[in-house]
């Protein structure tokens, strides 16, 4: 399935819930979010059906996200339904890792290939601060469980927050030396709760290359990935630099997003949405709606127009 700019759409990111068991300061308000009615969220069957149609249309990479995907009731059933589809070559989940120890084995058995784990600090107290009460130990045990059951290669996503974790860049990079783990630094985006944070928090991830000058750029394997990868000499894993606001990779963009309430989003930075939930519930042909929708995927995002997404990261899933 191609969009009107000839880009082949092969990747869908599916948010399975808006809810989360953490309250990262840049993402969710302390009090959590207004609970969406159960009937407004896609059911396990509906998620499976929409995924099936996308895979029929040529999607071969699926990522589950949230909110926190592992708090979604029926998450293993969702993974099983998608894991069974023929034609998927990469099936991953983005998680905060807190519940990974509990679910890693079942996720693997249900057909998941690998996990991306969000971790902004290696310091227990700082972790508790940034997540408003999370326990670093849970995530570290989750990472170990993921390794044990083979949900690999593991990628760790770190949002850089100026004055909070820029002093840990070297330590985080060092995680890539002995193990085949990629650590990816993501710039804090002015979206959701982070809008309330001071300008000093928004730092360029160029700082990673300044702090660790030994990093050497490696050849791009996937031109559609927003990450540029580097490696320390002889390290097993890589260091990724992700600038989510850069338009550099729009011409290679192969992805669309599905929100937990069943809206198809064609670009992270666009407010255009297509309601697949309602279409499905009315018995309409969602394949046709998806093909028509994808044809409208914007060529690139235009932040200079002052246009910005109204949805929060926990609603879109990153």
Give me the phi and psi of 263, to 5 degrees please: -95, 135
3 state SS of 265: strand
Residues 33, 18: Cα–Cα separation, whole Å: 8
Q: Find the residue with minimal CB distance to ligand SAM.
A: 318
Residue with smaller CB distance to ligand SAM, 4 or 271: 271
Residues 155, 168: Cα–Cα separation, whole Å: 17
Cβ–Cβ under 8 Å, residues 276 and 260: no
- Find how far residue 61's CA is from the centre of its chain: 13
Pick the binder of ligand SAM from 17, 118, 131, 259 (CB under 6 A): 118
Q: Which of residues 146-185 bind ligand SAM (CB under 6 A)?
A: 157, 159
Considering the complex, what minimum distance in angstroms separates the CB of residue 77 from ligand SAM?
A: 19
* Best CA proximity match to 318, nearest among 47, 14, 3, 98: 14
Q: Could you say whether residue 318 binds ligand SAM (CB under 6 A)?
A: yes
Residues 21, 69: Cα–Cα separation, whole Å: 10
Considering the complex, what minimum distance in angstroms separates the CB of residue 170 from ligand SAM?
A: 20
Measured at the alpha carbon of residue 167, what is the angle toward residues 141 and 30, in degrees to the nearest 5? 60
Pick the binder of ligand SAM from 68, 138, 168, 261 (CB under 6 A): 68
Residue with smaller CB distance to ligand SF4, 2 or 73: 73
What is the rounded end-to-end Cα distance, in angstroms, of the chain? 23
Q: Could you say whether residue 27 binds ligand SAM (CB under 6 A)?
A: yes
Q: Could you say whether residue 240 binds ligand SAM (CB under 6 A)?
A: no
Considering the complex, what minimum distance in angstroms separates the CB of residue 42 from ligand SF4?
A: 17
Q: Could you say whether residue 131 binds ligand SAM (CB under 6 A)?
A: no
Q: Strand locations in 30-167, DSSP E?
A: 61-65, 90-95, 114-118, 154-160
Q: Could you say whether residue 188 binds ligand SAM (CB under 6 A)?
A: yes
Residues that bind ligand SF4 (CB under 6 A): 20, 22-24, 27-28, 66-68, 96, 118, 314
Cβ–Cβ under 8 Å, residues 264 and 274: yes
Residue with smaller CB distance to ligand SAM, 286 or 313: 313
Considering the complex, what minimum distance in angstroms separates the CB of residue 262 from ligand SAM?
A: 18
Tokens for 262? Answer: 């069943």
191 binds, among ligand SAM, ligand SF4, none (CB under 5 to 8 A by kind): ligand SAM
188 binds, among ligand SF4, ligand SAM, none (CB under 5 to 8 A by kind): ligand SAM
CA 174 vs CA 30, 304, 309: distances in Å: 32, 37, 35
Give me the phi and psi of 305, to 5 degrees please: -80, 0
Considering the complex, what minimum distance in angstroms separates the CB of residue 58 from ligand SF4?
A: 29
What residues make contact with ligand SAM under the rule CB under 6 A? 20, 26-27, 65-66, 68, 94-96, 118, 157, 159, 186, 188-189, 191-192, 194, 313-314, 317-318
């Amino acid at each position: 399935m191609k969009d009107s700019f000839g880009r082949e759409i092969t990747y869908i990111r599916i948010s399975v819930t808006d809810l989360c068991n953490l309250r990262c300061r840049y993402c969710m308000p302390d009090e959590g979010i207004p609970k969406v009615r159960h009937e407004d969220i896609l059911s396990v069957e509906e998620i499976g059906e929409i995924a099936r149609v996308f895979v029929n249309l040529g999607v071969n990479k699926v990522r589950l996200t949230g909110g926190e995907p592992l708090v979604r009731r029926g998450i293993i059933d969702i993974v099983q339904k998608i894991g069974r589809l023929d034609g998927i070559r990469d099936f991953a989940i983005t998680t905060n890792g807190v519940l990974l120890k509990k679910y890693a084995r079942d996720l693997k058995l249900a057909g998941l290939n690998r996990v991306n784990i969000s971790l902004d600090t290696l310091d227990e107290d700082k972790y508790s601060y940034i997540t408003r009460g999370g326990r670093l130990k849970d995530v570290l045990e989750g990472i170990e469980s993921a390794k044990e059951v083979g949900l690999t290669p593991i990628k760790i996503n770190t949002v850089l927050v100026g004055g909070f974790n820029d002093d840990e860049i070297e330590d985080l990079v060092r995680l890539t030396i002995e193990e085949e783990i990629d650590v990816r630094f993501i710039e804090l985006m002015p979206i959701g709760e982070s809008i309330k944070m001071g300008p000093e928090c928004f730092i360029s991830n160029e700082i990673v290359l300044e702090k660790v000058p030994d990093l050497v750029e490696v050849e791009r394997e996937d031109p559609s990935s927003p990450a540029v990868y580097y490696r320390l000499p002889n390290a097993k894993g890589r260091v990724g630099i992700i600038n989510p606001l850069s338009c550099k990779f729009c011409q290679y963009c192969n992805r669309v997003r599905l929100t937990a309430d069943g809206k198809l989003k064609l670009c992270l930075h666009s407010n255009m949405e297509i309601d697949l939930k309602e279409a499905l519930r009315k018995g309409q042909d969602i394949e046709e709606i998806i093909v028509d929708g994808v044809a409208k995927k914007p060529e690139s995002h235009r932040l200079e127009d002052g246009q910005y997404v109204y949805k929060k990261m926990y609603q879109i899933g990153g």
